[in-house]
Amino acid sequence: MEFLLQLWLPILITGVVLFFASFVAWTVLPHHESDFSPLPNEDKLMEAIKLQNVAPGAYMFPYMTHAQAKDPEKISKYTSGPRGNVFVWDMPNMGKNLLRTLVYFLLIAAITAYISWEALQGQTVTFLKAFQIVGAIGVLTFASSGQLNAIWFPRRTLMDFVDGIVYGVLMGLVFGLCWPSGV
């Protein structure tokens, strides 16, 4: 746990910096506006969901379990389409979600601090070395976090990838600037 005593400041600063970078990416910059597209006849779909009294959750259509995967009727329904996912949300609790976002960034920063601390033991750590190691871990973490899921459940992730590179570079910069000297 020595890494927490030595790296608490860059962990904390990283959490705050990435929280604000995420805020800017999602509320100020326009690059996420094309992540989703409007549905034709959106009002009809919304009314159908209301009429069905669908509870908040994640739904797939047509739904099929592994056991049903050989049922000709289910196969026909699946192959004729459409196929997709529907996510029905509760009204977002902004305070709770913002806190969760900050905690997420703090946890990633703490885990990255641990990995970096172990990787750099016994070395003279320069700004460039800390930036290089922490930044690479950050880019790997943030740029890849949603990609595997998007392979199976398609959605646009290019801008998430771009954000991940920016978050990783920012984390590398913070740790590079704040890495304690002499450790």
- Residue-wise pLDDT for 78-100, tens only, equals 999 999 988 999 999 999 999 99
**Mean pLDDT score of the chain:** 92
Q: What is the pLDDT of residues 99-118, one digit of tens each?
A: 999 999 999 999 999 999 99
The Cβ of residue 160 has, within 10 Å, a number of other Cβ atoms equal to 20
Beta-sheet strands, E only, within 34-81 = 57-61
Give pTM, 2 decimals.
0.83
Band of the pLDDT at 73, cuts 50, 70, 90?
very high
Query: Where are the domains positioned within the chain?
Result: 2-178
Residues 18-51 as b or e (16 or more Cβ within 10 Å = b):
bbebbeebeeeeeeeeeeeeeeeeeeeeeeeeee
* 68 Cα distance to chain centroid: 32
